[in-house]
Amino acid sequence: MEIDILTIFPEIFDGPFSQSIIKRARDKEVVTIRLHNFREYSSNKHKNVDDYPYGGGAGMVMLAEPIVRCIESLTAQRSYDDVIYLSPDGELLTQHFANQLSVKKNLILLCGHYKGIDERIRELVITREISIGDYVLSGGELAAAVVVDSIVRLIPGVLGDETSALSDSFQDNLLSPPVYTRPAEFRGKKVPDVLLSGNDREIVRWRHEQSLERTRKRRPGLYDDL
Ligand code: ADE
């Protein structure tokens, strides 16, 4: 998979993309992530990327020109499955949505700032919008990092244990069951006997029951969809 991220703050990604699973996926070349500072595509001598909104009002609006030129320079090189704008107005990111994105080959992620982007950018080049939740972030970068993390870990070969993404919470609309490791007793609290029993069938059954119970209690909305 190849992911091109358009941002005026590329350094924000230094941390999330240079550690852990994403680092491993990049090292193995399972994913290629390129960062593009679209400020470089501004034809304005001050390299401005925003301006006052027509009609007045608070906040600045991101200019169409640098973003559209940057996207066009990428789409001239290869075709993209989607050109995604990270926005609280977008389609809510879910595990199901992440699964769908994880099989794409080429994606562009556009990170906005301030009051938003000139509407014509949406009309001309954006094919999809994603929100990571019903709250407003100061920019799309953290949302883009969340989207990348949620999809890259699903690409086959990225996680050490091939099955582990399948047993994640939400893969079957259920939350994960509780997990334990050594010691078998900690501050008087014991690991449930069934997990020490060696009886695989019972363990599978127990975990499924715990998943159902946890989902019913914590996320009744998910449970009702089962
Ligand atoms: N940009 C600002 N807030 C956002 C959100 N909740 N999701 C995605 N992008 C955003």
Name all domains of the chain by residue range, CATH numbers in brackets. 2-152 (3.40.1280.10), 172-224 (1.10.1270.20)
pLDDT of residue 130: 98
Among 132, 138, 142, say which to mutate for ligand 1: greatest number of ligand atoms within 8 Å of CB. Answer: 132
- Ligand 1 atom closest to the CA of 138, numbered from 1: 2
Chain mean pLDDT for the chain: 95
Rounded to the nearest whole angstrom, what is the distance from the C-alpha of residue 139 to the centroid of ligand 1?
7
Between the CA of 192 and the centroid of ligand 1 the distance, in Å, is 41
The per-residue pLDDT for 165 is 80
Which of these, 186, 130, 94, 189, lies nearest to 3 by C-alpha position?
Answer: 130
Q: What is the pLDDT of residues 7-36, one digit of tens each?
A: 999 999 999 999 999 999 999 999 999 999
Residue 43: band (very low, low, confident or very high) from pLDDT cuts 50, 70, 90: very high
CA–CA distance, 32 with 25 (Å, rounded to integer): 8
Taking CB atoms and a 6 Å cutoff, what residues make up the pocket around ligand 1?
A: 86-88, 131-133, 135-137, 140, 143
- Do you find a cis peptide bond into 177, omega within 30 degrees of 0? no
Backbone angles phi, psi at 215, to 5 degrees: -65, -45
**What is the CA(115)–ligand 1 centre distance, in A?**
12
Task: Give every CB contact of residue 91 below 8 A, 6+ residues apart in sequence.
Answer: 97, 128, 129, 130, 131
- Output the residue whose Cα is nearest ligand 1's atom 6: 88
| Reported confidence tier of residue 69, pLDDT bands at 50, 70, 90 | very high
Q: Per-residue pLDDT tens for 163-179?
A: 678 778 777 889 999 99
The answer to whether residues 82 and 104 touch, using CB atoms and an 8 Å cutoff, is yes
Closest atom of ligand 1 relative to the 132 alpha carbon: 7
Tens digits of per-residue pLDDT, 206-216? 999 999 999 99
